[in-house]
Structure 1
Amino acid sequence: MKKYGVVKAVVVLQAICMIVLSVAVIVKLSPFSDDPEQHDPDSETKAQAGDTPGSESDSIRSEGIAAMVGGVPITSTELADQLKRQYGDNVLRMLMVHKAIDLEAKAQQLSLSSEEEDRELAAMMEGYDSEDVFYEVMKDQLGMTKSDIEEDVKYRLLLEKIAILTVELSEVEIQNYITAHPEQFADRLRLHLQWIVTDSEEEAGEVLDRLADGDSFEELALVYSKDANTAESGGDLGLIDSDDPFYDAGMLEEASRLQTGETTGPVEVPEGYAVIRLIERQKTEGLTGHVLYDNARKELALSKAKPLNEIEDDLLEKYNAEITP
C-alpha cells in the first residue's frame, strides 16, 4: 500500500471513531438495556430524587441516569437522543452500507483471504513500535477495539474489490505501473533511532565523551538535547524509513551504517549537531510474484475506478435501501 493509502486508512478510522463510540454509549446507557441495575442511581441520588409514585423522580429513575450536575440529572434517554441527533444518520448509513456490501459480495462471490487482511493491517501498523502499541493507540485515541478495526478493514477491502470489478486493465498498463512506482514495491529499511541535538559541534563532542564514560543516553538527552519533542523520552525518534524525506538525508545515511546499539556523531543537521544511536534495524522484503502483480493491479484499478463513496451510493440504490420513519 502507498504511504498516502496508509494515512488515508487511519483518517478513515478517525472519521468513524465517533460513530463507533456513540453506538457503544447508546447501547451501554440505553434505558432499554438488559441490565436495569446498570442505570439505577445510588441510594443518595434516590433520596435526592424522592420516592413519590408517579413523580418526576420516578420517570427519571425509569430512564436511567447518565450523569449528575449540581444535583440535576442527565438521563440516559437525553444522552441517547442527543447522540442520535448528532451521529444517527452516519451510524445508520454505515450499517446500511455494510449490509449492501455483504449482499453484493455474496452476489459477486467475492471474499477476502486472511493474507489480504493481514497485509492491510500490517501496512496500517507501519510506524508503530509493535502490534500491541498500534492497537493500544487505536483504543486510546479512537476508542476502537481490535475487532472494530478488523471489521472496518474487512468492509473497506470488500468495497475496493467491488469498485474495481468492472475496471479493465491491460498487462502493459500494469507492468508500466510497476516500473513507474518502484518505491511502492521495493525492500524497505526502517531505523529506530535516538538522538541528542546540540547547538555546537563542541557540545556534541562533550556528549560523546560522557557516553564513552558510561553515562546514560536518556539522561544526557534530558540535559543536552534542544529538541523539546524528544528530550524527555530519551531522544527517541521511533521507527523511521531510511529514506524518510522529513529527516536530514545525511543523518539517515550515517544512521544506516550503524550496527544495533552503536552511536555516532557529531552529525550536522538543520537543527544543529546531532549525536545518534541505532536501537533497532528493520528490513521489510519487497513485494514479488503474484502479490506484487495483484497489489499493482489493485492500486492502478482504484485510481481509475469511481470514488468509493459513489460506489456506496450505487450499492444502496441497487439494493433498494430506504430509511423507514
Structure 2
Amino acid sequence: MKRYEVLKAVVILQAVCMIALTGMVMVKVWPLPGLRGNEQGEQTSPPAPTGSEGSGQKAVATVGGQPITGAELTSELYRQYGDEVLRVMMLRRALELESKATGLRISQEELDREIASVAEGYGDEEAFYSMMREQLGLSKEQIQEEYRYRLLLEHITIKDITVADHEVDRYMQDHPEQFEPQLQFHLRWIVTNTREQAESVLAKLMDGESFAAMARLYSQDEFTAEDGGDLGMIDADDPFYDGEVLAAAAGMSVAEIAGPIELTEQGYAIIELAGRKSTSNLASDRLFEQARKQLALERAKPLNVMEDELLKRYDAMIMK
C-alpha cells in the first residue's frame, strides 16, 4: 500500500474516533442509500448528532472572544465525515458478523507481516507508528485494528476463489517486478524557490551546517521542513517523486549531499542520501502464497462491491 493510501485510511479512522466521542443520538430508522429507500423512494442523509442539552453549548475554543462550542465542532465533523465514517463503523460490525459465520480470522503473524510491509516506506515500524501518532494522533492499537479489518475483508472476498499452482507460476513469471527485491532511498531535502537560494544553502552545508537545521530554516516544503526535510524511504522508481531527484540519488553515496536540482513543479532542491536498502526476498513459499492471493483478488469482485453485499446481508440500517 502506498503512503497516500495509508493516510486516507488513517484519516478516516481518526474521524471515526472523533465522532464517536461526541455521543451520537439517533432515534428513527433511516435506510442506507442504495440498500433501502424511504416510503417515497427518496434518499436522505442523517442529520448531525446533537449532544445532551447544555453540554453541547460548552465552549471548546475561543477566537477574538467568540466561542466555538462542542455542538459546533460535532456538527462540522459530522458534516465533513459523517456519511463515510458511519459506513466504516457499520462495515466493521458486518465484517465481525461474517467472520463469526465463516470462521475466518486474521492471525497476529499475518497482521505483523502486513504492517511490516507498509512500514518499509517509512524506514521501519517505529518510524511508521511515530508518524501516525504525531501527525494523526493514532495509537499503534488503532492502526493495527484498521489493517486487521482490511485483511479480513480481503479474505472474505476471495474465500471462494480457487487459484491453481500452475496459474500462480505463470502469474509470477508475467509480473516479476512484484516479486523481486526493490531498491529504496532514504532521502532528506531542502526546497527553495530559486537556484541562487539553493546555492546559498548548499554553501552553508558544505561549511558544516546541519542539514536538518537548514531544512527547518530555509525549506519551502511545508510537509517536510519541520522534520528536517525528511522524506522517509522512497522506492527508486516511485512515480510520485521527481525523477531528477531519484536519478541523482541513484548515483550518490550514503551521507552525500547533492544539488541544486531543478524540480518539475517546486523550484530547486538540495538532497541528502541518508540511507539506501534493497527489500529482501521473502521465503519462496510466502512469495508463492502472496502471488496466489494477488491473483485471487484480481479475479474476485471489487472490495467495495463486497462491502455493499455484506451490508445488505446483515440488514444494515442507519438510525435517524
Q: Give the match for residue 66 of structure 1.
A: 58
Pairwise CA distance, 1:175: 1.8
Which structure has the larger Rg? 1
Distance in 2, matches of 1:112 and 1:219, equals: 40
Q: Give the match for residue 7 of structure 2.
A: 10
Which whole-Å deviations, capped at 9, do the CAs of 1:11-65 have from their partners, x for residues lacking one? 23333432332113448xx9xxxxxxxxxxxxxxxxxxxxxxxxxxxx965x464
Distance in 1, matches of 2:66 and 2:209, equals: 54
> Is 1:296–2:291 an aligned residue pair?
yes
Q: Give the match for residue 164 of structure 1.
A: 158
Contact 2:158/2:296 (CA < 8 Å) preserved in 1?
Answer: yes
> Is 1:146–2:143 an aligned residue pair?
no
Contact 2:94/2:311 (CA < 8 Å) preserved in 1?
Answer: yes
Percent identity between matched residues is 40
- Give 3-state SS (helix, strand or coil) of 2:58's partner: strand
Pairwise CA distance, 1:300: 1.7
Contact 2:212/2:229 (CA < 8 Å) preserved in 1?
Answer: no
Distance in 2, matches of 1:182 and 1:235, equals: 33
Alignment counterpart, residue 123 of structure 1, candidates 109, 117, 121: 117
How many residues were matched structurally?
281
Distance in 2, matches of 1:84 and 1:231, equals: 32
Q: Any gaps of 5 or more consecutive residues in structure 2?
A: 26-51
Q: Any gaps of 5 or more consecutive residues in structure 1?
A: 31-58
What code does the residue aligned with 1:160 have?
E
Pairwise CA distance, 1:161: 0.3
Higher relative contact order (CA 8 A, sep 6+): 2
Listed as ranges, the matches of 1:15-26 within 5 Å are: 15-26=12-23
TM-score for the superposition, normalised by structure 2? 0.68
What code does the residue aligned with 1:108 have?
T
Q: Give the match for residue 42 of structure 1.
A: none
Pairwise CA distance, 1:179: 1.9
What code does the residue aligned with 2:132 have?
M
What code does the residue aligned with 2:59 have?
A
- Give 3-state SS (helix, strand or coil) of 2:122's partner: coil
Contact 1:19/1:90 (CA < 8 Å) preserved in 2?
Answer: no
Q: Give the match for residue 282 of structure 1.
A: 277
Q: Give the match for residue 55 of structure 1.
A: none
What code does the residue aligned with 2:209 have?
S
After superposing the two structures, state which structure 1 stretch, 303-312 or 282-291, moved more. Answer: 282-291
TM-score for the superposition, normalised by structure 1? 0.67
Pairwise CA distance, 1:174: 1.7
Alignment counterpart, residue 211 of structure 2, candidates 218, 225, 241: 218
RMSD after superposition: 4.3
- Give 3-state SS (helix, strand or coil) of 1:123's partner: helix
Listed as ranges, the matches of 1:1-325 within 5 Å are: 3=2, 7-26=4-23, 61=54, 63=55, 65-67=57-59, 76=70, 87-194=81-188, 199=195, 207=203, 211=206, 215-216=208-209, 218=211, 228-229=220-221, 236-245=230-239, 246=241, 247-248=243-244, 250-255=247-252, 258=253, 260-261=254-255, 263=256, 269-271=261-263, 277-323=272-318
Pairwise CA distance, 1:254: 0.9
Contact 2:15/2:77 (CA < 8 Å) preserved in 1?
Answer: no
- Give 3-state SS (helix, strand or coil) of 1:127's partner: helix
- Pair 179,288 (structure 1): closer, same or farther in 2 beyond 3 Å: farther
